[in-house]
Amino acid sequence: MAESISVSGITKEEKYLSLLPQIKALVEGERDTIANIANIVAALKFAMGHFWVGVYFVKNNPDNNKQELVLGPFQGPVACTRIGFGKGVCGKAWEIKSTIVVDDVELFPGHIACSSLSKSEIVVPVLNRNGDVMLVLDVDSEKTGNFNETDKLYLEEIAAIIQKCL
């Protein structure tokens, strides 16, 4: 496993291109899902300088026997622990099984504000082979309009790496 992450490049694309092989190397040879996801979100947070990076797992809540998103490994300020199906950006990405890019969180109906400092976000669902969402990858920024098609492309590649770690 790589011991440190060093990202070169000026543009966002160059940074992702430099980061991707390092993320692959980071999880190579390690089978533990949580350990691998924990390292992936840390690499992403510190390489790209995002405000918050983390995952929410789809889990059964034994109290009501309903599936919910439950907070998993993350880097950044403390965050909401549970999110319902269809709720917020994360629950919506789970529902529609597609990436959602939000330029301005205040304009997203039902957005869940874990931190008032978060202004834009992107949520990428990770599906299993049967097409069920297993978790979502959530990346937040303190700047509005911080995420675009480049983030979508490379974060979906990172989601594919996470999928292989499950």
Residues that bind ligand SME (CB under 6 A): 52, 79-80, 83, 88-90, 111-112, 114, 118, 121, 138, 140
Cβ-proximal residue to ligand SME, closest one = 88
CB of 136 to ligand SME, least distance (A): 8
Tell me whether residue 122 is exposed, middle or buried, using C-beta atoms within 10 angstroms of its C-beta: 0 to 12, 13 to 18, 19 or more: buried
38 versus 80: smaller Cβ distance to ligand SME: 80
Residue with tokens 């292989």: 164
CB of 76 to ligand SME, least distance (A): 7
52 versus 57: smaller Cβ distance to ligand SME: 52
CA distance 141 to 122: 9
Torsion of CA 153, 91, 128, 119, to 10 degrees: 30
39 versus 118: smaller Cβ distance to ligand SME: 118
CB of 105 to ligand SME, least distance (A): 6
15 versus 111: smaller Cβ distance to ligand SME: 111
CB of 21 to ligand SME, least distance (A): 27
CA distance 137 to 130: 19
Q: Under DSSP, is residue 114 helix (H, G, I), strand (E, B) or coil?
A: coil
How far from the centroid of its chain's Cα atoms is residue 61's Cα?
21
CB of 79 to ligand SME, least distance (A): 4
Residue with tokens 């060093």: 6
Neighbouring-strand partners of residue 110: none
58 versus 89: smaller Cβ distance to ligand SME: 89
